[in-house]
């Protein structure tokens, strides 16, 4: 017999899909007539044919078994008493072979025993010979209809079993957890996914309250999911609940859809709530991806700061709040000074590390609620959403500038970088995002133009400056072609003799449109736009050319100093350019000095040292310009081949007398003597300063007291005179003896 019981374990594995082997009866049942008497056999076969049955015959037990082995028969009309193999033996054989055929015994032996033993052997019915035809046909009809019923029943059972297996398979191989809870929230069913996803064996959950699994913070929200009484569209949809993994330390986010289950079979109205059916989908990865995408959309991945988009969001919100509550806010544009230098000389990896450190340092200057964003490159923006006065913004800007005073230690490099900051205030400098950002940007450019490492509050006049900047740049490009640049020379004198010891080359721009411009007005923009390179080359060429003319006239000053911008120094080919000039004009390197500022040494790249060494190798001297204003790191003086330090002219203000400047000048003088460096004081305007410098043993001086920068023509005249500069009485008294 076929096993029609549920096979509980079978559904674990994939199964063949589809309902197979329905055992349906063939349309035309086939009957095998078995009798050793030919007459009976043939007449019976003929009668059955008349009733529409298809028949075969067998003349004994043996041939019956052969026929049954070869072909399927729906019914066997079997004589019991046969000479070779009798009917009982045939039935035993049928049972042994598990043939699906129905047997009606037709026998002359009418004893009850014979009938019973036939039925025991699986016969469907027993018919005594002789029999009425009608009786025979009725029994055959009965047998067939019973078989049909049995077959249908079997097919239904099989179908049920298959579909049960199928549904079980679908439920257990579902990518989602499927569960039912009773009216108290206790688990009554759960599919295999629970274990593979969360590590809980399902037996451990059956009978337990579902909330035991839920992450503590989500328990309250989970109540709806656990005891959902609503059905249809009102039921819980897509609720996200976090569940910790049973054994691993991870928290999964599941998306729950659950519905109330009601007993619809009972007579109660409304029907009784019996529990909850739910499906929980693992959305952990999807959620992470979504979070990452939104993080990426709103953050700068390098520094982790807000990006332009998020900043705009925050700014928009802050403006709305400020408008509503009538308070001020500040927007700052911050730009790293000379970041490009670091990037170009030390590479992007170090550039990136520096940006990360810069972001950290900036963060430390902020209060809670401020938004700091990276706009891209080396530009940052800062939003102070609520301030009481302009002073609040200034204080923060000041804090930022000061925090950049200390160097950054990046991968073994000591880097000094500074910030230029532009500040725009709401509502004074603009009442919408775009104007505030634009004005903070303009103020930032202004602070760059004014010398960097400072902040600048926006003022309405700056819009013009911004436009001027553009036109200045255009004019400057044209000026190169039109030869509008000139150089002048300012003498440097020996403090003891008062005689010219050297001169500094200074560039001028005689613009037919803008007038006679000081380098302070165009050098910062020239540096920003890269025009400083051709301008620098022009100055070098002019100075070398002039030196060669003076040499031919026998007037050669001891030294001609030339200012080299940081950007120019970084430029590939500067050293070759200078070497080429020396060859071209047949001049000795020792009569030139290149003035560089500490900024140029900032990136401390090996190749800057290398370049300075190459220049030194040609006999060219190196002066550190504007000493005292930058970082004045002593390490520079040791690391780089420096010959001269130039005390910045700002220290001459109030010197002597101003105790602050007095002590700085004194310290620098002592330092120069200690390191045996040549020392030049710049911006010397008063005789008193000259005397004090003499006392401090500063060996050279430069300034209006002796001479303004002069044209080459005027300098030639001075050189020809060869006299000490400045009135005799101004020089220190005891100089006369020397
Ligand atoms: P710097 O190198 O410090 O040059 C000295 C500046 O101080 C010059 O201004 C000079 O005219 C001015 N000065 C000289 N003596 C006195 C004085 O007694 N009192 C006062 N108040 N000022 C005095 P200048 O020529 O306007 O140059 C300004 C700056 O522009 C220079 O400062 C230098 O950094 C830059 N610069 C000038 N020429 C060049 C150049 O050819 N190339 C580059 N890269 N920069 C240049
Ligand atoms: Ca200089
Ligand atoms: Ca200087």
| DSSP assignment string, 271-322 | PEEEEEEEEEEE-HHHHHHHHHHHHHHHB-TTT--B-HHHHHHHHHHHHHHH
Task: Determine whether the shortest distance from the Cβ of 518 to ligand 1 is under 6 A.
Answer: yes
Does 121 share its domain with 202? no
Is 666 inside any structural domain?
yes
Is 308 inside any structural domain?
no
Give CA separation, 329 vs 77, 388, 390, 394, 441, in Å.
Answer: 107, 8, 9, 12, 16
Task: Determine whether the shortest distance from the Cβ of 703 to ligand 1 is under 6 A.
Answer: yes
Question: How many CB atoms neighbour CB 650 within 10 A?
Answer: 15
Does 574 share its domain with 652? yes
| Per-residue pLDDT at 39 exceeds 50 | yes
Task: Determine whether the shortest distance from the Cβ of 622 to ligand 1 is under 6 A.
Answer: no
Does 374 share its domain with 454? yes
Three-point CA angle 557, 559, 564, nearest 5°: 135
pLDDT-derived band at 391 (thresholds 50, 70, 90) equals very high
Q: Which one of the ligands is nearest to 594 CA?
A: 2
pLDDT-derived band at 119 (thresholds 50, 70, 90) equals confident
| Per-residue pLDDT at 91 exceeds 70 | yes
pLDDT-derived band at 11 (thresholds 50, 70, 90) equals very low
- Residue 15, C-beta contacts closer than 8 angstroms, at least 6 positions apart: 165, 166, 169
- Residue 302, C-beta contacts closer than 8 angstroms, at least 6 positions apart: 352, 355, 356, 374
Does 574 share its domain with 493? yes
Task: Determine whether the shortest distance from the Cβ of 490 to ligand 1 is under 6 A.
Answer: yes
Q: How many angstroms separate the CA atoms of 159 and 167, rounded?
A: 12
CATH no. for residue 537?
3.20.20.450
Pocket probe mutation, ligand 1, options 493, 682, 686, 710, max atoms within 8 Å of Cβ: 682
Using alpha carbons, select from 591, 618, 617 the residue that is nearest to residue 505. Answer: 591
Structure confidence at residue 711 (pLDDT): 96
Q: Whose CA is nearest to atom 17 of ligand 1?
A: 683
- Looking at the CA of residue 562, tell me the nearest atom of ligand 1: 41
Q: How many angstroms separate the CA atoms of 291 and 297, rounded?
A: 10
Task: Determine whether the shortest distance from the Cβ of 520 to ligand 1 is under 6 A.
Answer: yes
Torsion of CA 3, 6, 10, 14, to 10 degrees: 110
pLDDT-derived band at 23 (thresholds 50, 70, 90) equals very low
Judge contact between 615 and 622, C-beta under 8 A: yes
Distance 566 CA to ligand 3 centre (A): 14
Is 470 inside any structural domain?
no
b or e along 15-38 (b: 16 or more beta carbons within 10 Å of the residue's beta carbon)? eeeeeeeeeeeeeebebbbbbbee
Percent of the chain exceeding pLDDT 90 equals: 58
What one-character DSSP code corresponds to residue 24? P
Distance 213 CA to ligand 2 centre (A): 75
Q: How many angstroms separate the CA atoms of 536 and 333, rounded?
A: 30
Torsion of CA 689, 693, 695, 697, to 10 degrees: -170
Judge contact between 452 and 445, C-beta under 8 A: no
pLDDT-derived band at 150 (thresholds 50, 70, 90) equals confident
Please write down the HEC assignment for all residues of 450-476: CCCCCEEECCCCHHHHHHHHHHHHHHH
Does 595 share its domain with 722? yes
Task: Determine whether the shortest distance from the Cβ of 626 to ligand 1 is under 6 A.
Answer: yes
pLDDT-derived band at 3 (thresholds 50, 70, 90) equals very low
pLDDT-derived band at 17 (thresholds 50, 70, 90) equals very low
Q: How many angstroms separate the CA atoms of 700 and 682, rounded?
A: 9
Percent of the chain exceeding pLDDT 70 equals: 93
Is 592 inside any structural domain?
yes
- The structure tokens 């909330």 sit at 211
Structure confidence at residue 14 (pLDDT): 39
**Minimum mean pLDDT among 122-131, 316-325, 588-597, 688-697: which range?**
122-131
Q: Is the dihedral of CA 258, 264, 265, 268 positive or negative?
A: positive
Task: Determine whether the shortest distance from the Cβ of 704 to ligand 1 is under 6 A.
Answer: yes
| Per-residue pLDDT at 638 exceeds 90 | no
Q: How many angstroms separate the CA atoms of 703 and 181, rounded?
A: 94
456-473: average pLDDT: 78
**Minimum mean pLDDT among 2-16, 18-32, 446-460, 477-491: which range?**
2-16
Q: Domain boundary residue among 289, 305, 331?
A: 289
Using alpha carbons, select from 430, 333, 326, 317 the residue that is nearest to residue 369. Answer: 317
Q: Which one of the ligands is nearest to 703 CA?
A: 1
Structure confidence at residue 311 (pLDDT): 95
Q: How many angstroms separate the CA atoms of 47 and 38, rounded?
A: 14
Structure tokens at 139: 């029994």
Q: How many angstroms separate the CA atoms of 65 and 617, rounded?
A: 118
Structure confidence at residue 416 (pLDDT): 84
pLDDT tens per residue across span 232-257? 777 778 889 999 999 999 999 999 98
pTM to 2 decimals? 0.50
Distance 701 CA to ligand 3 centre (A): 12
Does 76 share its domain with 204? no
Structure confidence at residue 344 (pLDDT): 79
Q: Whose CA is nearest to atom 21 of ligand 1?
A: 683
pLDDT-derived band at 412 (thresholds 50, 70, 90) equals confident
pLDDT-derived band at 525 (thresholds 50, 70, 90) equals confident
Q: Domain boundary residue among 126, 155, 184?
A: 155
| Per-residue pLDDT at 6 exceeds 50 | no
pLDDT tens per residue across span 680-707? 999 999 999 999 999 999 999 999 999 9
Structure confidence at residue 595 (pLDDT): 97
Give CA separation, 575 vs 42, 72, 541, 570, 712, in Å.
Answer: 126, 107, 13, 10, 25
Is 522 inside any structural domain?
yes
Is 605 inside any structural domain?
yes
Q: Whose CA is nearest to atom 34 of ligand 1?
A: 563
Does 583 share its domain with 697? yes
CATH no. for residue 42?
3.40.50.2300
Q: How many angstroms separate the CA atoms of 564 and 649, rounded?
A: 18
Does 584 share its domain with 718? yes
Does 151 share its domain with 182? no
Does 121 share its domain with 191? no
User: Where in the sequence is the domain holding 446, given as residue range(s)?
Assistant: 322-460
Q: Domain boundary residue among 238, 270, 289?
A: 289
| Per-residue pLDDT at 299 exceeds 90 | yes
Strands 592-596 and 560-563: parallel
- Looking at the CA of residue 626, tell me the nearest atom of ligand 1: 3
Does 431 share its domain with 550? no
531-555: average pLDDT: 95
Is 115 inside any structural domain?
yes
Three-point CA angle 473, 474, 476, nearest 5°: 65
Task: Determine whether the shortest distance from the Cβ of 506 to ligand 1 is under 6 A.
Answer: yes
**Minimum mean pLDDT among 50-54, 56-60, 725-729: which range?**
725-729
Judge contact between 393 and 330, C-beta under 8 A: yes
What one-character DSSP code corresponds to residue 203? G
| Per-residue pLDDT at 726 exceeds 80 | no
What one-character DSSP code corresponds to residue 333? E
Distance 506 CA to ligand 3 centre (A): 11
Q: How many angstroms separate the CA atoms of 475 and 467, rounded?
A: 12
Q: How many angstroms separate the CA atoms of 73 and 640, rounded?
A: 111
- Looking at the CA of residue 704, tell me the nearest atom of ligand 1: 18
Structure confidence at residue 631 (pLDDT): 63
Pocket probe mutation, ligand 1, options 502, 518, 523, 543, max atoms within 8 Å of Cβ: 523
CATH no. for residue 343?
3.30.70.270
Helix (H, G, I), strand (E, B) or coil at 420: strand
630-650: average pLDDT: 84
664-681: average pLDDT: 93
Q: Containing H/E element for 80?
A: none
- Residue 735, C-beta contacts closer than 8 angstroms, at least 6 positions apart: 496, 497, 498, 694
619-630: average pLDDT: 90
Structure confidence at residue 272 (pLDDT): 87
Does 630 share its domain with 719? yes
**Minimum mean pLDDT among 274-278, 390-394, 605-609, 618-622: which range?**
605-609
Is 676 inside any structural domain?
yes
Three-point CA angle 445, 447, 450, nearest 5°: 110
pLDDT tens per residue across span 467-521? 677 788 888 999 999 999 999 999 999 998 889 999 999 999 998 888 899 998 8
CATH no. for residue 242?
3.30.450.20
132-138: average pLDDT: 89
Mean of all residue pLDDT scores within the chain: 88
Structure confidence at residue 96 (pLDDT): 93
Domain count of the fold of the chain: 4
Higher-scoring residue by pLDDT: 470, 677: 677
pLDDT-derived band at 24 (thresholds 50, 70, 90) equals very low
What one-character DSSP code corresponds to residue 186? B
Structure tokens at 511: 């613009």
Q: Whose CA is nearest to atom 43 of ligand 1?
A: 563
């Amino acid at each position: 017999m076929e096993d029609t019981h549920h096979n509980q374990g079978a559904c674990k594995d994939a199964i063949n899909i589809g309902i197979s082997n329905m055992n349906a009866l063939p349309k035309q049942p086939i009957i095998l007539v078995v009798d050793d008497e030919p007459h009976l056999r043939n007449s019976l076969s003929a009668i059955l044919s008349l009733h529409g049955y298809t028949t075969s015959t067998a003349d004994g037990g043996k041939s019956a078994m052969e026929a049954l082995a070869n072909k399927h028969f729906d019914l066997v009309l079997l004589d019991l008493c046969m000479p070779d193999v009798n009917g009982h033996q045939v039935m035993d054989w049928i049972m042994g072979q598990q043939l699906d055929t129905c047997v009606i015994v037709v026998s002359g032996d009418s004893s009850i025993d014979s009938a019973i033993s036939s039925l025991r052997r699986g016969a469907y019915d027993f018919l005594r010979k002789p029999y009425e035809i009608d009786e025979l046909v009725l029994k055959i009809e009965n047998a067939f209809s019973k078989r049909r019923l049995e077959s249908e029943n079997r097919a239904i059972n099989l179908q049920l079993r298959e579909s049960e297996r199928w549904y079980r398979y679908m439920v257990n191989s579902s990518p989602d957890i499927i569960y039912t809870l009773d009216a108290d929230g206790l688990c009554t069913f759960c599919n295999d996914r629970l274990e593979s996803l969360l590590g809980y064996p399902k037996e451990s959950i059956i009978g337990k309250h579902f909330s035991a699994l839920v992450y503590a913070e989500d328990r309250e929200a989970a109540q709806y999911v656990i005891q959902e009484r609503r059905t249809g569209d009102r039921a819980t949809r897509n609720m996200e609940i976090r569940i910790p993994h049973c054994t691993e330390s991870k928290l999964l986010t599941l998306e729950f859809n659950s519905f109330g289950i009601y007993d619809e079979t009972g007579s109660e109205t409304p029907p009784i709530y019996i529990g909850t059916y739910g499906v929980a989908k693992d959305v952990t990865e999807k959620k992470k991806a979504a979070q990452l995408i939104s993080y990426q959309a709103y953050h700068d991945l390098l520094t982790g700061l807000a990006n332009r988009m998020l900043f705009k969001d925050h700014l928009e919100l802050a403006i709305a709040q400020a408008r509503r509550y009538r308070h001020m806010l500040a927007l700052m544009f911050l730009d790293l000074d000379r970041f490009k230098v670091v990037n170009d000389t030390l590479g992007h990896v170090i550039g990136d590390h520096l940006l990360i450190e810069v972001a950290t340092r900036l963060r430390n200057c902020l209060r809670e609620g401020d938004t700091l964003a990276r706009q891209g490159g080396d530009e940052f923006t800062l939003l102070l959403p609520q301030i009481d006065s302009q002073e609040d913004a200034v204080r923060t800007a000041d804090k930022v500038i000061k925090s950049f005073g200390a160097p950054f230690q990046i991968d073994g490099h000591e880097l000094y970088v500074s910030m230029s900051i532009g500040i725009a205030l709401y509502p004074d400098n603009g009442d919408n995002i775009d104007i505030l950002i634009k004005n903070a940007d303009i103020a930032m450019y202004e602070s760059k133009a004014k010398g960097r490492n400072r902040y600048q509050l926006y003022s309405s006049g700056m819009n013009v400056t911004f436009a001027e900047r553009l036109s200045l740049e255009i004019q400057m490009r044209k000026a190169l072609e039109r030869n509008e640049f000139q150089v002048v020379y300012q003498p440097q004198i020996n403090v003891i003799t008062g005689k010219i010891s050297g001169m500094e080359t200074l560039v001028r721009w005689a613009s037919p449109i803008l007038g006679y411009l000081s380098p302070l007005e165009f050098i910062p923009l020239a540096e920003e736009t890269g025009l400083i390179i051709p301008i620098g080359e022009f100055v070098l060429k002019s100075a070398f050319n002039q030196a060669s003319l003076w040499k031919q006239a026998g007037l050669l000053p001891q030294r001609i100093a030339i200012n080299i911008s940081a950007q120019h120094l970084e430029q590939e080919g500067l050293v070759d350019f200078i070497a080429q000039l020396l060859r071209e004009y047949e001049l000795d390197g020792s009569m030139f000095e290149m003035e560089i500022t500490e900024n140029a040494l900032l990136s401390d790249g090996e190749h800057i040292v290398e370049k300075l060494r190459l220049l030194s190798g040609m006999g060219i001297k190196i002066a550190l310009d504007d000493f005292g204003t930058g970082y004045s790191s002593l390490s520079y003086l040791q690391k780089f081949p420096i010959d001269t330090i130039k005390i910045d002219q700002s220290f001459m203000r109030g010197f002597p007398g101003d105790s602050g400047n007095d002590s700085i000048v004194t310290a620098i003088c002592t330092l120069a003597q200690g390191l045996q460096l040549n020392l030049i004081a710049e911006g010397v305007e008063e005789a008193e300063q000259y005397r004090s410098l003499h006392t401090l043993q500063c060996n050279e001086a430069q300034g209006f007291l002796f001479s303004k920068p002069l044209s080459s023509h005027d300098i030639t005249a001075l050189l020809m005179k060869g006299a000490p500069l400045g009135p005799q009485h101004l020089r220190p008294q005891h100089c006369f003896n020397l």
